[in-house]
Chains A and B, each alone.
Chain A
Amino acid sequence: MVRIKFRGQEWELKPGLRVKEAIKKVGLSPNAVLAVKGGKLLTEDVVLREGDEIELISVISGG
Chain B
Amino acid sequence: MRCKKCDQPAVIRMHQHRLALCKEHFVEWVLNRVADTIRSFRMFSPKKKILVAVSGGKDSLVLWDILLKLGYKADGLHLNLGIGEYSERSLDYVLKFADSHPEADLIIVDIKERYGMSVPELAEAKKHGRGRKICSLCGLVKRHEMNRVANERGYDVVATGHNLDDEAATLLGNLLNWKIEYLAHQSPVLPSTYPGLVRKVRPLVRLYERETAAYALVEGIEYIREECPHALGAKSLLYKEILNRLEDEMPGAKQRFYMDFLKARREGLIKLQPPPAQQLHPCEVCGQPTSAPGKCAFCRLWEPGSSSGS
B135 at the interface (CB under 8 A from A): yes
Q: Which of B1, B12, B236 contacts A62 (CB 8 A)?
A: B236
Quick check: A31 and B244 within 8 Å, CB to CB? yes
Cα(A21)–Cα(B12), bound, Å: 16
Chain A window 12-46, contacts with chain B (Cβ cutoff 8 Å), 1 for yes, 0 for no: 00000000000000000111101010001101111
Q: In the complex the two chains form, is A41's CB within 8 Å of B1's CB?
A: no
Q: Is the C-beta of A61 less than 8 angstroms from some C-beta in chain B?
A: yes
Q: Are A32 and B217 in contact (CB under 8 A)?
A: no
Given contacts A31-B244, A61-B227, contact A43 B236 (CB under 8 A): no
User: A62 to B166, Cβ gap below 8 A?
Assistant: yes
- Main SS class of interface, B: helix
A63 to B138: give the CA distance in the assembly, Å: 11
Minimum CB–CB distance for A35 against chain B, Å: 11
List A contacts of B57 (CB < 8 A): 61
Known: A31-B248, A61-B209. A43 touches B1 (CB 8 A): yes
Whether A57 contacts B213 by the Cβ 8 Å rule is yes
Secondary structure class of chain A's binding surface, majority of residues? loop
Contact yes or no, A63 B13, CB < 8 A: no
Known interface pairs A29-B248, A43-B10, A57-B213. Does A62 touch B20 (Cβ–Cβ under 8 Å)? no
| B236 x A41 contact (CB < 8 A) | no
In the complex formed, the residue of B with least CB distance to A45 is: B1
Chain B positions within 8 Å of A61 at CB level: 57-59, 209, 227
Docked pose: A39 CA to B166 CA in angstroms: 26
What are the residues of chain A within 8 A of B135 when measuring CB–CB?
Answer: 63
Contact A41 B12 (CB under 8 A): yes
Residues 11-25 of B, flagged 1 when their CB comes within 8 A of A and 0 if not, give 111000000100000
B241 within 8 A of A: yes
Please indicate the chain B residues that have their CB under 8 angstroms from the CB of A31 in the complex.
208, 210, 244, 247-248
Q: Answer whether residue B48 sits at the interface, using C-beta atoms and an 8 A cutoff.
A: no
Per-residue CB proximity of B155-174 to A under 8 Å, as 1/0?
A: 00000000001100100000
Task: Return B139 CB to nearest CB of chain A, in Å.
Answer: 10
Task: Give the shortest distance, in Å, between B274 (CB) and chain A (any CB).
Answer: 25
* B218:A62 contact, CB within 8 angstroms: no
Whether A34 contacts B210 by the Cβ 8 Å rule is: yes
The answer to whether the Cβ of B231 comes within 8 Å of any Cβ in the partner chain is yes
**8 Å CB contact of B213 from A29, A40, A59:** A59
- How far is A3 from B237 in the complex, measured between Cα atoms in Å? 27
Asked if B240 CB lies within 8 Å of chain A CBs, one says yes
A-B contact pairs, 9 of them (CB 8 A): A32-B240, A34-B217, A36-B217, A41-B214, A43-B11, A45-B1, A60-B241, A61-B209, A62-B236
